[in-house]
Amino acid sequence: MAGDGGSGQDAFLDALRAALPDDALLIHEEDLHPYECDGLSVLKALPLAVALPHNREQVQAVLKVCEQFGIGVVPRGAGTGLSGGARPSAGAIVLSLARLKQMLAVDTHNRSARVQPGVRNLAISEAVRPLGLYYAPDPSSQIACTIGGNVAENSGGVHCLKYGLTVHNVLALEVLDASGELLHIGSQAPDSPGYDLLALMMGSEGLLGVVTECTLRLLPVPENTLVILAAFSSVVAAADAVSAIIAAGIIPAGLEMMDQLAITAAEDFVHAGYPRDAAAILLCELDGSEAELQVRLHAVENLLEEHGAGSIRIARDAETRLLLWKGRKAAFPAVGRLAPDYYCMDGTIPRKRLAEVLEQIAAWSAEYGLQVANVFHAGDGNLHPLILYDANIDSQLQAAEAFGQRILELCVAVGGSITGEHGVGVEKLDSMCAQFTPAELAQLHRIKAAFDPEGRLNPGKAVPSLHRCAELGAMHVHHGQLPFPELERF
């Protein structure tokens, strides 16, 4: 139907209009522009329409109309995703969950919160803080991103090293499938009968169902917290210190690393008090009882010194701790001020390969003539190289993409993954061909079909078609035959 424009499309829009209140449907081009991309702004497309339902019944109505007309649906939270997951697909509508933003209930006895999917991540912890509880996963985008988006991406944050990812902190979901049928997945109990659909929903990028409610596990706020800031004169030394801390059996609440470019950018932006002359810094958060902290702090300090930390600062009071984290959490926008554009990569590697992978990235940076800032979840081996470029300079975007693709292939080659937390979206469809075999991809497509046989939920995302990978394979052969930089990608 999407393709035949004209009357079919009109009938579809009429049906949507009939199913929704006036303020819940956008169809005029000027209103659609804010929805043409997510945080990966190089990938843009206009949706057919944007539905902004107020409640589950309206979401259900939208899904039913789309089913009737065979129209694709792209769910959207806050649009902070970095892989094009919420970017409109051709001929599809965008279904925004942003207005479903009520905190429905907090169960203090069972330590859980029931919220609508459009609730912002940070709002949850803020709301339950007076009860001495919080929601652990804290992506750097937490002031803006929604819990529905977090579920769809299985988002992590600086504290997931110790407290886990979204998958470890969600108890139950209410989901609508592609035809609008309501599914209750998971429960307040420790497990549920049958297959673990809850795990399957996490990180499914809006391809398996639309999340309309989430029940989250809340944790007690730690008794004491401190943050250690350690400065190093080389990236390699900092990376080695990271491995040494984990190898010593210490699991910090967070263990993050920033390199010189990121440090300077963050410092200029938020004045967190980072040492500008350091080649790299580590931010290490420890939490626990006072007695425990003393022991751990001592051990970590020793390890940091052994690995050549030049200066070590310890922040105990909340204000200084938050300031140190603020620099880290604002690092992406801060780096964004250094160049007209930046490309944020997201790959994971075994921790012990950190130093060599960072060195290789630095070497490629020189080769491509594009600066790279590194700010990332070191404890998890989750890299976020930010490649700086200027889209107005011919071929810089292509160079940045080629550089990024090489980084991801390196991640796979050293035993890691092409995405740790930002998802595949549209951006990494080609990289998926490097990580999975055709049989594995076919299995993933069969899972999708079990939920959404018509393939209408977030079409064209997350799992590449076998055809696409086959064509890409042919392209890789060309790579070997032709000089690389001159090669057009498509």
Partner 1 sequence: MDQRVILQEQVREAYAQSRVLHIQGSGSKAFYGRRVRHGEPLRMRGHQGVVDYEPSELFITLRAGTTLQNLQAQLAEAGQILPFEPPFFGAEATIGGTLACGFSGPRRPYAGSARDYVLGVQLLNGQGEILRFGGQVMKNVAGYDVSRLLVGSLGTLGVLLEVTLKVLPRPEQELTLVQELPMAAAIIQMNQWAAQPLPVSASAWYDNYLYLRLSGAAKAVEAAGRKIGGEVLSAADAFWTDLREQRHGFFQGDASLWRLALAPASPPLPLPEPTLIEWGGGQRWLRGHQDAAALQGVAAKYGGHATLFRGEDASGEVFHPLSPPLLALQQRLKKAFDPRGILNPGRLYAAL
Ligand X SMILES: Cc1cc2nc3c(=O)[nH]c(=O)nc-3n(C[C@H](O)[C@H](O)[C@H](O)COP(=O)(O)OP(=O)(O)OC[C@H]3O[C@@H](n4cnc5c(N)ncnc54)[C@H](O)[C@@H]3O)c2cc1C
Cβ atoms < 10 Å from Cβ of 479: 10
User: Looking at beta carbons only, is 141 or 435 nearer to partner 1?
Assistant: 435
Binding flag, residue 463, partner 1 (CB under 8 A): yes
> Rounded to whole angstroms, how far apart are CA atoms 227 and 230?
10
Q: Which does 211 bind (CB under 5 to 8 A by kind): ligand X, partner 1, none?
A: ligand X
Q: Site residues for ligand X, window 114-133 (CB under 6 A)? A: 117
User: Looking at beta carbons only, is 328 or 422 nearer to partner 1?
Assistant: 422
Binding flag, residue 447, partner 1 (CB under 8 A): yes
Binding flag, residue 466, partner 1 (CB under 8 A): no
3 state SS of 431: helix
Q: Site residues for partner 1, window 27-66 (CB under 8 A)? A: none
- Count of residues of this chain found to bind ligand X when the rule CB under 6 A is applied: 36
Q: Which of 123, 320, 417, 468 binds partner 1 (CB under 8 A)?
A: 417
Q: What is the CA radius of gyration of the chain?
A: 23
User: Looking at beta carbons only, is 57 or 181 nearer to partner 1?
Assistant: 181
Q: Site residues for partner 1, window 359-398 (CB under 8 A)? A: 377, 380-382
Binding flag, residue 458, ligand X (CB under 6 A): yes
Look-up of token digits 């075999």: 437
Tell me whether strands 93-96 and 73-76 are parallel, antiparallel or unpaired: parallel
Q: Which does 141 bind (CB under 5 to 8 A by kind): ligand X, partner 1, none?
A: ligand X
Binding flag, residue 490, partner 1 (CB under 8 A): no
Binding flag, residue 86, ligand X (CB under 6 A): yes
Instruction: Please state the closest distance from residue 157 (CB atom) to ligand X, in A.
Output: 5
Tell me whether strands 133-134 and 219-220 are parallel, antiparallel or unpaired: antiparallel
Q: Site residues for ligand X, window 131-170 (CB under 6 A)? A: 139-141, 145-146, 148-150, 152-153, 155-157
Q: Site residues for partner 1, window 295-314 (CB under 8 A)? A: 295-296
Instruction: Please state the closest distance from residue 222 (CB atom) to partner 1, in A.
Output: 5
Question: Using an 8 Å Cβ cutoff, are 232 and 279 in contact?
Answer: yes
Q: Which of 41, 192, 260, 320 binds partner 1 (CB under 8 A)?
A: 192
Q: Which of 25, 97, 128, 235 binds ligand X (CB under 6 A)?
A: 97
Instruction: Please state the closest distance from residue 67 (CB atom) to ligand X, in A.
Output: 16
> Could you give the C-alpha distances from 220 to 103, 112, 135, 297, 309, in angstroms and in order?
19, 11, 9, 21, 32
Q: Which does 150 bind (CB under 5 to 8 A by kind): partner 1, ligand X, none?
A: ligand X
Burial 134-149, CB ≥16 within 10 A → b, else e: bbbbbbbbbebbbbbb
User: Looking at beta carbons only, is 10 or 107 nearer to partner 1?
Assistant: 107
User: Looking at beta carbons only, is 79 or 180 nearer to ligand X?
Assistant: 79
Q: Which residues contact 174 (CB under 8 A, 6 or more apart)?
A: 56, 182, 183, 184, 185, 211, 212, 213, 214
Q: Which does 111 bind (CB under 5 to 8 A by kind): partner 1, ligand X, none?
A: partner 1
Question: Using an 8 Å Cβ cutoff, are 156 and 380 in contact?
Answer: yes
Q: Quick one: 64 exposed, middle or buried, by C-beta within 10 A (0-12, 13-18, 19+)?
A: middle
Question: Using an 8 Å Cβ cutoff, are 457 and 207 in contact?
Answer: yes
- DSSP symbol at 428: T
> Rounded to whole angstroms, how far apart are CA atoms 125 and 129?
6
Binding flag, residue 210, ligand X (CB under 6 A): yes
Q: Can you name the residues that pair with 51 across neighbouring β-strands?
A: 25, 95
Q: Site residues for partner 1, window 105-164 (CB under 8 A)? A: 107-111, 132-133, 153-154, 156, 160-161, 164
> Rounded to whole angstroms, how far apart are CA atoms 181 and 453?
14
Q: Site residues for ligand X, window 268-327 (CB under 6 A)? A: none
Binding flag, residue 351, partner 1 (CB under 8 A): yes
Alpha-helical regions (H) of 272-316:
290-306
